[in-house]
Amino acid sequence: MSRPSARNRRSDAQRSRASILDAALRTLGADPDAGVETIATTAGVTRQTVYAHFPSRGELLAAVLDRITEEAVAAMDAAALDDGPAAEALVRLIEAGRRTSGRYPALLRKITSLPASPDDDQRRHSPVAERLERVIRRGKETGEFDDRLPTGWLVAVTVKLGHASGEEVDSGRMSADEAADALHTSLLRVFGATS
């Protein structure tokens, strides 16, 4: 019997890693404090296999956050950001992100409370920031958005207000719908939207 090729081993490792991440999302989404043993069982692998891919729980949680970010970015890309008025595209982008994060509220509260390096935080926000920047620039070019504030500032404000919106919901001070409405209204005012 011949030994598996390097390509087959890499393919198996990729499938194993994906299975672990899928299981981690399901398990941690239901119980953010679930242990590695529970995640391994859900994935159908051993604890050692989980640790072979993710040497620490922190690295596993970071990979889970990256996976959620990928889901959010895919939802944003599906939201037709280049179609229609920029203000409407901005709301679609925000809603795509909100729907994705809304699937994992307890897990995201847990993960985002953990320390992250500025480089990791910037890398994680970069794909979202790029899409925001594209919509903002389009709105400025069409005259829908006030062009006096720098685009980078508007991206930063959008991210911070998005986090504030989530915090209001998490604290129970606002419902998800109230926070979404306040976020949309605030952003459109900050942007000086004409429509």
Query: What CATH number has the domain bearing residue 110?
Result: 1.10.357.10
The answer to whether residue 172 sits within a structural domain is: yes
pTM of the model: 0.81
Domain extent at residue 141: 59-190
The set of residues, in sequence order, having a beta carbon less than 8 Å from that of 59 and lying 6+ positions away, is none
Do 96 and 170 have their domain in common?
yes
The answer on 167 and 97 residing in a single domain is yes
Determine contact, residues 32/91, Cβ cutoff 8 Å. no
Same domain, 172 and 92: yes
d(CA 45, CA 16): 8
Please give the full DSSP string across 59-112, using - where no structure is assigned. Answer: HHHHHHHHHHHHHHHHHHHTT-TTSS-HHHHHHHHHHHHHHHHHTSHHHHHHHH
Same domain (yes/no): 93, 118: yes
In this structure, the answer to whether residues 3 and 15 fall within a common structural domain is yes
- Same domain? 174 vs 83: yes
CA angle 150, 91, 73 (to 5 degrees): 85
* Domain match, 121 and 95 both: yes
Tell me: do 63 and 133 sit in the same domain: yes
Same domain? 75 vs 156? yes
Residue 38's Cβ-count burial label (10 Å; 0-12, 13-18, 19+) is middle
* Listed residues 31, 55, 79: the one ending a domain: 55
Residue 177 falls within a domain, yes or no? yes
Does residue 152 sit within a domain?
A: yes
Name the domain count of the chain.
2
Q: Is residue 195 part of a domain?
A: no
The residue from 28, 55, 82 where one domain ends is: 55
Distance, in Å, from the CA atom of 179 to the CA atom of 184, rounded to the nearest integer, reads: 9
- Is the same domain home to 70 and 88? yes
One domain, residues 143 and 86: yes
**In tens digits, what is the pLDDT along the chain, a chain of 195 residues?**
445 566 666 777 788 899 999 999 999 988 988 999 999 999 999 999 999 999 998 889 989 998 999 999 999 999 999 999 999 999 999 999 989 988 888 788 777 777 777 887 788 889 999 999 999 999 999 999 999 999 999 999 998 999 899 889 888 999 989 999 999 999 999 999 865
Query: Do residues 49 and 74 share a domain?
Result: no
CA–CA separation, 90 and 132 (whole Å): 7
